[in-house]
Amino acid sequence: MAYFPLFIQLDGAACLVAGGGRVACRKCRVLAEFGARILAVAPEFCRELSKLAEKEGNLSLVRRQAVLQDAREMALVVCATDDPGFNRELAAYCKKRRIPVNVADCGELGTFYFPGIVRQEDVVIGISTGGKSPAAVKYLRGYLEELLPPFMGRLAGRLGILREEMKAQVKEPEIREQLYTQLFYEGLAREGELSEDILEERLSQWRRRALSPGREACSAAKSVGKND
């Protein structure tokens, strides 16, 4: 059965990474990029992970053997130690407490996979084969990175700002959806550049159409009908 793609908010969330090697480092790097507060526990840490902790203020390293209780009150747990038996025990501990858990190199023991990620600001694409083919994930990530316009993240951010402004001015959901779509494709043609002036121009066009003679006559007829 394929895994369901679920995007969750990790900004400020407490996450445990049990392990100190390169695999643990990769997991920590991804979690840090999404704002998680990471506790990495291991007797020793590789050079890359130690350097990452120096750069990332939200990554703490604790030099000791990880224990099951480290997972208490964690939003997410990664098992990446070199002890398969402990990884299995920690995964079972998390499952019992409904804590999402990933087990490196033995994904079926966990409850989620780390996807291959293509990201531009808030635009995020996750890729998974359910652990069946890392090579396929790597290929698809590279393919999508080439396919995705380099301004897509900037465009999405701009549309988010304009969307809030449009909500305040256009109450009809159907019309808002049409205007959102129009602005997206216009932003695509302009390589991510959308200004307040463009939004105001589109809103003015919509207002003119809304007040066209045909619509005015229709509104007047409805008004007469109500008065009668």
Residue carrying the six token digits 């030099």: 63
The pLDDT of 32-46, averaged and rounded, is 96
Tell me: the pLDDT tens digits for 107-163? 789 999 989 999 999 999 999 998 888 899 999 999 999 999 999 999 999 888 888
Retrieve residue 69's tokens: 């209780």
Residue 144's pLDDT is 96
Examine residue 59 and state whether it is found in any structural domain, yes or no: yes
Q: Give the integer Cα–Cα distance in Å for 119 and 145.
A: 8
In this structure, the answer to whether residues 110 and 76 fall within a common structural domain is yes
Give the closest residue to 65 by CA, choosing from 99, 26, 16, 19.
19
Confidence of residue 202 (pLDDT cuts 50, 70, 90): confident
- Where helices occur in the chain by DSSP H, the ranges are 22-33, 47-55, 84-96, 134-147, 152-169, 173-189, 196-210, 213-227
Is the same domain home to 127 and 185?
no
User: Which has the closest alpha carbon to 101: 116, 117, 86?
Assistant: 86
Confidence of residue 220 (pLDDT cuts 50, 70, 90): very low
Query: What is the CA angle 117-50-12, rounded to 5?
Result: 55
Determine the pLDDT at residue 178.
86
Judge if 18 and 110 occupy the same domain: yes
Q: Give a yes or no: residue 8 inside a domain.
A: no
Q: 165: pLDDT confidence band, cut at 50, 70 and 90?
A: confident
Beta-carbon contacts of 63 under 8 Å, excluding residues fewer than 6 positions away, are 42, 43, 44, 45
Tokens of 132: 């069946």
170-197 as b/e: b if 16+ CB within 10 A: beeeeebeebeeebeebbeeeebebeee
Do both 108 and 175 map to the same domain?
Answer: no
- Tell me the mean pLDDT in the region 36-44: 97
- The pLDDT value given to residue 182: 87
When pLDDT is averaged across residues 7-22 and rounded to a whole number, the result is: 95
Prediction pTM value: 0.79
Q: Which two tokens stand for residue 30?
A: 């991804």
Q: How many domains does the chain have?
A: 3
Inform me whether the pLDDT recorded for 219 exceeds 60.
no
Is the pLDDT at 72 greater than 80? The verdict is yes
Question: What pLDDT score does 152 carry?
Answer: 94
The verdict on residue 71 lying in a domain is yes
